[in-house]
Amino acid sequence: MVQIDGGAAGLKPTRADKFTFGLWTVGNPGADQFGSATRVRLDPNDSVRKLADLGAFGISMHDDDLVPPESTPAQRDQIVARLKKTLNETGMVVSMATTNLFGHPVFKDGAFTSNDRGVRRYAIAKTMRAIDLGAELGAPVYVFWGGREGVEAMASKRPADALDRYREAMDFLCGYVIDHKYPMRFAIEPKPNEPRGDTFLPTVGHALAFIGTLEHPEMVGLNPETAHETMSGLSFFHAVAQTLWHGKLFHIDLNGQKIGRYDQDLRFGSEGVKDAFFLVKLLEESGYQGPRHFDAHAYRSEDADGVWDFAAGCMRTYLLLREKARQFATDADITAALEEASVTELAQPTVGRYSAKAATELAADPGDPAALARRGYRNEHLDQLVMDLLLGSR
């Protein structure tokens, strides 16, 4: 466990906090399934400037967020040059890049897993172009969110074939990055559903298992997202903890989400405060060096000012929770309660490595279950201390 550092001043975001936002997040115009946009689209350069003023570290983007798909090569170069200039002037970075493989109708049956081989080839070609763009802008991480990789009609795809094609695409693109000597790693972003009825690689656990089958597993990690695990009814804190345990936390998408709802993409920490607290504590104590990336958007009710309230709020809540995590580590009552719950004892090996001698010794003295069952762990007390801490009475 590393000690949580960061300025004592605490609540004003700085570059060192590594807060980043997708261009599509602050740029979200507020359209939803039932209504059209409520805000005007932002110029990416204005978003970079405003985010820099608020204390952010950088941005992420889809290829199409920056360069409209219909642009000519000359227009593309002009757009990219202009962004580079803005990044230079503001000291902001591009911390992650990705491909839009979901918006265009061509991807309605999937991208890497479309039944149509022509669509699959186009998806890989588009991704190669977007990887070039990411590399040109210095993005160290490239995210793969398979938004359309899934089905509504179960009979329409054999899942094993789809996974074969998904793997083929990842292996091919790893080869592309290696061949071009780009200093870039890949991060898969699992999601259970939306926009598809069922998505391939639905959770962190599925994606971790999938990575183990790739040709270059060391190049590929995860980009887990709060909303996505929460939509599955899972604890995001536990998902990220296991991702870290595998050494696979390459990037993270932070937002807020209620269990059992549509994909909400709410301001970070605005729902599930306790899970968010343990997540921040985990990230800060784990030594995770990557960006704290927000993939969310302002409520549809907001105008431009509301968008910046939203962005500032994501960072502020993170810093508030980081402060609470620091307090948790030094609170004498909490330390005592952790002791009473035997929290650190779980870090001690149980039986060590197998040997015939160790097995014989254990069999001879397995312990008395009745005696072992007598103790209480005082988890009620421990959890109430956490509540007191979070609600501000400690």
In angstroms, give the least distance from the CB of 358 to ligand GCO. 47
Q: Which of 126, 191, 251, 267 binds ligand GCO (CB under 6 A)?
A: 191
Q: Which of 229, 253, 271, 284 binds ligand GCO (CB under 6 A)?
A: 253
Active site annotation includes 65: yes
> E strand or H helix at 222, and its extent?
strand 220-222
Question: d(Cα 76, Cα 71) in Å, to the nearest integer?
Answer: 6
Active site annotation includes 238: no
Q: Which of 19, 112, 142, 145 binds ligand GCO (CB under 6 A)?
A: 145
In angstroms, give the least distance from the CB of 145 to ligand GCO. 3
Q: From residue 91, how far is each of 21, 111, 385 by CA, in Å?
A: 15, 35, 41
Q: Nearer to ligand GCO by C-beta: 232 or 328?
A: 232
Crossing angle (nearest 10°) for helices 332-340 and 304-330 = 70
98 near ligand GCO, rule: CB under 6 A: yes
Q: What angle do CA 305, 226, 387 make, to 5 degrees?
A: 90
With CB cut-offs between 5 and 8 Å by kind, which of ligand GCO, Mn ion, none does residue 98 bind? ligand GCO
Position of minimal CB gap to ligand GCO: 145
The residues near 55 (Cβ < 8 Å, ≥ 6 apart) are 12, 13, 14, 15, 17, 19, 315
Residue 34 Cα to chain centre, angstroms? 27
Q: Which of 17, 63, 65, 225 binds ligand GCO (CB under 6 A)?
A: 225
Q: Which of 63, 189, 271, 275 binds ligand GCO (CB under 6 A)?
A: 189
295 near ligand GCO, rule: CB under 6 A: yes
In angstroms, give the least distance from the CB of 24 to Mn ion. 10
Q: What is the total count of residues that contact ligand GCO (CB under 6 A)?
A: 9
367 in helix, strand or coil? coil
Catalytic choice (17, 63, 65, 295): 65
263 near ligand GCO, rule: CB under 6 A: yes
Q: What angle do CA 344, 349, 355 make, to 5 degrees?
A: 170
Q: Tokens standing for 250? A: 């390459």
The residues near 183 (Cβ < 8 Å, ≥ 6 apart) are 140
Q: Nearer to ligand GCO by C-beta: 225 or 331?
A: 225
In angstroms, give the least distance from the CB of 379 to Mn ion. 32
Of 371, 387, 377, 373, nearest to 341 by C-alpha is: 377
Q: Nearer to ligand GCO by C-beta: 254 or 386?
A: 254
> E strand or H helix at 253, and its extent?
strand 253-254
In angstroms, give the least distance from the CB of 98 to ligand GCO. 4
Question: d(Cα 100, Cα 145) in Å, to the nearest integer?
Answer: 9
List residues with catalytic annotation.
62, 65
Q: Please report, as ranges, the residues that interact with ligand GCO according to CB under 6 A.
A: 98, 143, 145, 189, 191, 225, 253, 263, 295
